[in-house]
Structures are given as C-alpha cells and as structure tokens.
C-alpha cells in the first residue's frame, strides 16, 4: 500500500470524522479511536509484547503499530528528557537516524525515524510526555515508505487525554481469542460416538429380560440350543474395547510444533564514561615501552560497532636515534541482516561484515565475535528492567542474564565463534571480509522452552567481541566492555 498516495482530503476525514465502527483504545491517560480498517493483535501476542498492537494491510505492504502499555516516569523536566532521548537515539542508531516534531490534537510528539534491523522499511518511534509519564508509539512501515504514514497521523489525531474510557477496548481481542477455543472442541463429538455403544450394550439385556416373564416359558428351554447364539452376546464384550480402539490414533507424545519468535528489542552495550581512563591505561600497558595511547573509542554506527585505537611507537633509525611514528587501528563489525523473525526448526542466519583499516602498523587488527542464543524466562518487568540496566550500566549487567535462563531440553544451539585474522583481509592495510553464521534451532528444543506462571519467554542472542583468542592483545580491554544483545519474543 502506498501511504504517500493519499490526499489531504483523506487525511482531514480521518482526523475530524471518527469512522463508523471505530474502536476506542486506552493506555494510561491516552485514549485513541482505531478505525475499522485496523486489525487488532491477538490477546497472547499483546501480552507477550505488553502493547496494544494494530495492523493494516497484508504481507510486504503491512503497516504495524505498537502502543506499549508500560510508561516510564522521567526523572528530569520534559525538555531535558527529550534531549536525553535524542542523544540516546543518535548514539544507538548513528547517522541513519532522522528526527522531527509532530503536533496533533494539541500535543507535540517527538518522532525518530530509523531503518529497520533488516533494512527493509523504516521504524518510527513517537514519544510525548503527559502528566509526568512518557508515552510511546512505534510504527513499522513497509518498504519504500520513509515518511510517517497518514494512517498513523490520523490515529494520533484521534488522541484524547484523561477523558476517554474505552469500555470496549478489550472486547474484540477477547472475542477473537474465545472463538477458536470454542471451535476446537472435538470432545462432545467423541462422546456422542461412544455413548451409542454403551446404551446398546445395556439395552439388549433389558430386552432379553422382558420376554422371560412372557408366556410359554417351556418353549424357551426347548429352544435352549438357541442359547448358543446367546454366546454371541458374550462376544459383545467387544464393544467395550471400542473406546480402547479409538484411543491409539491419538499420539501419546504429540509432535512438537515449531514456534515463531519476533524481534522485539536490541541493545548495544558500550564502556561507560568512567571506564575510559582505565581502558586507556590498560591499552598502554599492552603496548609496553613502544609508546603511549593517545586516543581510543567505541561507538554504535547503524547496525554495527566501530572501534579505534591510536598512539605512537618509537623506532630506532639507521643513525641509532629513536624516532616517533604515529599509528591508528580501526575495527568495524556490521550485522546488516539481523532477522526480524525466528522459526523453530530453521537455522538463525546472520551475516557479519568485518572491516579494518590500519596506518603505521604492519597489519590490521584481528577480530573475533562469539554468538550465543540463550532462552530466558522471567517476569516481564524484570526483563525490561534488565535491558534498561544494560543501557545504563554497561556490560556489568550481562551477568544477570544467567539467573533468567529457562530450563529447556538438551540439544539446543551451541555458541559459535567467528574469527577474522589479519591475513584474511584483502590487503596489508585492511579491507572487508564477510562471513555467514548459522545457529541451529531444533524444534524439540525450541518448543520445549516453557515459562512458569507470571513469566514471559524470550530468546536472547548475545554477541561478544575481542581481538585475540587469549584476550590480551591490543584492543581487547576496550572490546571486552562491549556487547550486542537482540531479544526475540513469541
């Protein structure tokens, strides 16, 4: 669907005339009227994402909107909170982020546009503050749509604050969730098939008992030879075996059903501001007497990580005098094809691009990436708090993931390490090397991920970085403090 093809008149109709059949939605103090063309997500899906979910269109033309129910309370004034949010977006998404303001229904929204993780389409994060709480809407647009669709603007234009109580907000979801349950009830049919067998077996003895008091009792003894046929009813105990014969077609162990896991959130962890002084000293010790480190850094650039280290080395010339030579080493790791969806029984495929550049040294730096897919089960609030803690506190919070690991069957995907050595680059000064990683997801393992009551299930893909196998080479102290975490939910 080409959302840019609609005219201004269409927008005016959406903004000022609530369409027939509009469904009111409420999150906190925010009330919205969702037009009939929006399709609501299932109850289970909304519970997993802790969001109201709306969709329009199908397949590659689908437009999706997520309205998180959880609302943060900024600890600063609204203007300062928005500034911090903008800095966070720029730090996380780099140059690919674009920001704008949108004012609708008397409210100003800060809009951040960025490419989706897969590179297809865009993601719009739309944020405002009301009564001390931050409200967010996330819109995922199809390929070719790089402006906020008018349908989303119309949805925001229907906003009412502190004055809308959506009594029917949950009805469509409950009704749609209840229908399949009522439809998938074969038990009544199965019982109706078994009951005739039982009534027939009971009724026949009763009929044979009635003729007994009838006249001509002598005729029956003479017909005793016919009692042998009554041995046939003794064969009629076979009907009781009929229910037993019905049971075998139902497998004792149903075949596992492959699940689908959708990408929910990504966090790239970097060293904290207070850590950089110690890291510079650690890098300098690795260089020893060769020379000091004059600069180092790590940054998020789009779907990837950039790091550099620079300084100078001392070399003895032909005349025996020591001369200083500057050097700079630059590492880049990109994951341009992070999947939006994982499916049990299908391998998780991830392309990694390694880029390196070096000056003043003999060879570019090595790089190693370790990937591990971890099943995590915890209350939803604990999962969100952990991810927020990663962004705030850095790699130190990664250890908390160990306490959230689910109990799952054996046979899950093993951790994979991808190494790129200096000799793998196309030239002595660096270049680009691409590698594909496959992490198996057996159906038996994936379908066996079960959470306790009150918990949610997540698959967490964790990427860790280092520049040497032993972890003691130039660049290691810095990259040990970095990680990329990608969370998928059912």
Q: Are residues 80 and 198 in the same domain?
A: no
Q: Are residues 228 and 293 in the same domain?
A: no
Interval 367-383 mean pLDDT: 91
Q: Are residues 339 and 458 in the same domain?
A: yes
Q: Are residues 316 and 191 in the same domain?
A: no
Q: Are residues 168 and 289 in the same domain?
A: no
Would residue 98 count as lying in a domain?
yes
User: pLDDT at position 290, please?
Assistant: 56
Whether the pLDDT of residue 367 is over 80: the answer is yes
Whether the pLDDT of residue 180 is over 60: the answer is no
Would residue 232 count as lying in a domain?
yes
Give the C-alpha separation, 239 to 201, whole Å: 8
132-144 pLDDT, tens per residue? 999 999 999 988 8
Would residue 252 count as lying in a domain?
no
466-482 pLDDT, tens per residue? 888 777 777 888 898 89
219-265 pLDDT, tens per residue? 444 444 554 455 545 544 444 444 444 444 444 555 667 788 999 88
Whether the pLDDT of residue 43 is over 80: the answer is yes
User: pLDDT at position 376, please?
Assistant: 92
Q: Are residues 338 and 380 in the same domain?
A: yes
User: pLDDT at position 162, please?
Assistant: 84
Interval 157-186 mean pLDDT: 46
Whether the pLDDT of residue 414 is over 50: the answer is yes
User: pLDDT at position 289, please?
Assistant: 56
Q: Are residues 139 and 163 in the same domain?
A: yes
User: pLDDT at position 22, please?
Assistant: 54
Query: In Å, what is the CA distance from 262 to each residue of 124, 266, 342, 487, 489?
Result: 18, 12, 6, 8, 5
Instruction: Identify the three-state secondary structure at position 92.
Output: helix
| Confidence (pTM) | 0.53
User: pLDDT at position 253, please?
Assistant: 52
Give the C-alpha separation, 414 to 405, whole Å: 15
Interval 6-14 mean pLDDT: 30
Would residue 385 count as lying in a domain?
yes
Domain membership of residue 144 as a residue range:
3-181
Would residue 253 count as lying in a domain?
no
Q: Are residues 194 and 173 in the same domain?
A: no
Q: Strands 304-316 and 260-269: what pairing? A: unpaired
> Across the chain, how many H-helices and E-strands are there?
13, 21
Burial (CB count within 10 angstroms: exposed 0-12, middle 13-18, buried 19+), residue 352 = buried
Query: Which residues have C-beta within 8 Å of that of residue 486, sequence separation ≥ 6?
Result: 117, 263, 265, 266, 338, 460, 461, 463
Q: What is the CATH number of the domain that holds 140?
A: 2.60.120.1690
User: pLDDT at position 18, please?
Assistant: 36
Whether the pLDDT of residue 383 is over 50: the answer is yes
Q: Are residues 447 and 426 in the same domain?
A: yes
Give the C-alpha separation, 69 to 133, whole Å: 11
User: pLDDT at position 431, please?
Assistant: 82
416-459 pLDDT, tens per residue? 898 888 788 887 777 888 999 888 888 888 888 888 888 899 99
User: pLDDT at position 52, please?
Assistant: 92
Q: For residue 419, list its beta bridge partners.
A: 368
Q: What is the DSSP letter of 405?
A: B
Interval 263-270 mean pLDDT: 89
Q: Are residues 236 and 142 in the same domain?
A: no
Whether the pLDDT of residue 463 is over 90: the answer is yes
Q: Are residues 15 and 79 in the same domain?
A: yes
Would residue 206 count as lying in a domain?
yes
Mean per-residue pLDDT over the chain, rounded = 75
Specify the number of domains making up the chain: 3
Q: Are residues 196 and 335 in the same domain?
A: no
């Amino acid at each position: 669907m080409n959302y840019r093809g609609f005219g201004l008149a269409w927008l005016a109709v959406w903004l000022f005339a609530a369409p027939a059949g509009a469904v009111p939605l409420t999150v906190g103090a925010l009330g919205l009227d969702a037009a009939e063309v929006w399709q609501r997500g299932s109850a289970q899906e909304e519970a997993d994402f802790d969001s109201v979910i709306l969709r329009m269109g199908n397949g590659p033309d689908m437009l999706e909107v997520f309205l998180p129910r959880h609302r943060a309370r900024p600890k600063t004034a609204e203007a300062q909170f928005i500034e911090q949010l903008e800095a966070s977006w720029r730090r996380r998404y780099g140059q690919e982020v674009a920001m704008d303001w949108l004012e609708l229904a008397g409210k100003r929204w800060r809009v951040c546009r960025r490419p989706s993780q897969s590179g297809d389409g865009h993601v719009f994060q739309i944020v405002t503050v009301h009564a001390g709480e931050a409200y967010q809407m996330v819109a995922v647009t199809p390929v070719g749509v790089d402006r906020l669709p008018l349908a989303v603007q119309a949805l925001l234009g229907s906003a009412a604050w502190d004055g809308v109580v959506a009594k029917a907000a949950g009805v469509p979801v409950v009704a749609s969730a209840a229908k399949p349950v009522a439809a998938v009830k074969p038990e009544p049919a199965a019982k109706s098939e078994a009951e005739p067998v039982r009534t027939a077996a009971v009724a026949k003895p009763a009929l044979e008992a009635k003729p007994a008091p009838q006249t001509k009792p002598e005729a029956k003894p003479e017909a005793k030879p016919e009692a042998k046929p009554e041995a046939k009813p003794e064969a009629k105990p076979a009907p009781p075996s009929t229910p037993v014969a019905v049971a075998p077609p139902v497998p004792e162990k149903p075949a596992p059903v492959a699940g689908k896991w959708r990408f929910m959130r990504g966090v790239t962890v970097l060293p904290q501001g207070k850590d950089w002084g110690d890291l510079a000293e650690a890098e300098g010790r690795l260089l020893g007497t060769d020379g000091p480190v004059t600069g180092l850094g790590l940054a998020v650039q789009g779907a990837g990580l950039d790091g550099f280290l620079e300084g100078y080395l001392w070399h003895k010339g032909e005349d025996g005098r020591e001369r200083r030579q500057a050097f700079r080493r630059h590492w880049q790791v990109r994951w341009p094809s992070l999947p939006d969806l994982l499916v049990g029984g299908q391998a998780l495929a991830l392309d990694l691009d390694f880029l390196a550049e070096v000056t003043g040294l003999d060879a570019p730096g090595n790089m190693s990436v370790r990937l591990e897919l971890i099943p995590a089960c915890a209350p939803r609030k604990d999962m969100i708090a952990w991810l927020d803690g990663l962004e705030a506190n850095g790699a130190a919070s990664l250890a908390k993931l160990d306490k959230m690991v689910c109990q799952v069957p054996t046979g899950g995907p093993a951790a994979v390490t991808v190494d790129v050595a200096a000799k793998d680059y196309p030239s002595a000064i660096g270049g680009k090397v691409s590698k594909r990683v496959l992490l198996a997801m057996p159906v038996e393992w994936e379908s066996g991920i079960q959470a306790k009551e009150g918990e949610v299930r997540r698959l967490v893909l964790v990427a860790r970085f280092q520049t040497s196998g032993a972890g003691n080479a130039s660049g290691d102290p810095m990259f040990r403090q970095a990680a990329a975490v990608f969370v998928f939910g059912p």
